Amino acid sequence: MSEIERALQTFHSLKVRQIMPPLASMPIVTVDSSIIDVLKLLKTRHHVWVVNNREEMKLEGVIRYLNVVDVLLPPDIHKARLGNISSIFKSILGGADRAEHVMERNVLTIKDDATVLDALTKMKRYKVPLLAIVGENEKLVGEISLRILVNEFIRLMRIGGAQWNQSGSSLHLE
């Protein structure tokens, strides 16, 4: 078995909780947080998790950077058609003033005891680069992104002593 195959095998068997960032470093707001607080976080992040409150941390939704377009547009720009009426109310001028008004409620999650392979499979199936990690009672305990996974795989490659060359095969480092 090659170094890369061993690294991938180890990588796939890791639990997502082993490589998720600390909760304190994650962008989190509560449902009643102001839109301005959400926008401040989105200046430097691609998403913000929305929880019911800081004590229970029950995941309620996510606000992605791309959702800001709906928040900033005036309501008359949105095309009101069946199935799309909610975007009108996500505008600040349409009355949205709290995180709960603009969040996506259907968040893709994965349990904290899932493996990296489980996470990668779910990301591929749903074509998303980010999953919320939840524990009991849908409590937000972390996040896993494709960026985190790539960084972890590269770290494993360095630790294992394998290095990719341009043809894609591995070389053992002495």
pLDDT (0 to 100) of residue 132: 98
- Residues with Cβ within 8 Å of 87's Cβ and at least 6 positions away in sequence, in order, are 70, 78
pLDDT of residue 86: 58
Q: Which of 58-72, 136-150, 158-172 has the lowest mean pLDDT?
A: 158-172
Q: What is the pLDDT of residue 19?
A: 95
Q: Which residues contact 37 (CB under 8 A, 6 or more apart)?
A: 29, 99
At 127, give phi and psi (nearest 5°).
55, 50
**Of the ranges 51-55, 64-68, 99-103, 141-145, which one carries the lowest mean pLDDT score?**
64-68
pLDDT band at 161 (very low <50, low <70, confident <90, very high): low
Nearest to 115 by CA among 136, 144, 158, 151: 144
- Delineate the domains of the chain, giving CATH numbers in brackets: 3-162 (3.10.580.10)
Q: How many helices (H) and strands (E) does the chain have?
A: 7, 8
Q: Are 102 and 90 in contact (CB under 8 A)?
A: yes
Hey, which bits of the chain come out as E strands?
Answer: 28-30, 47-51, 59-64, 109-111, 130-134, 140-145, 162-164, 170-172
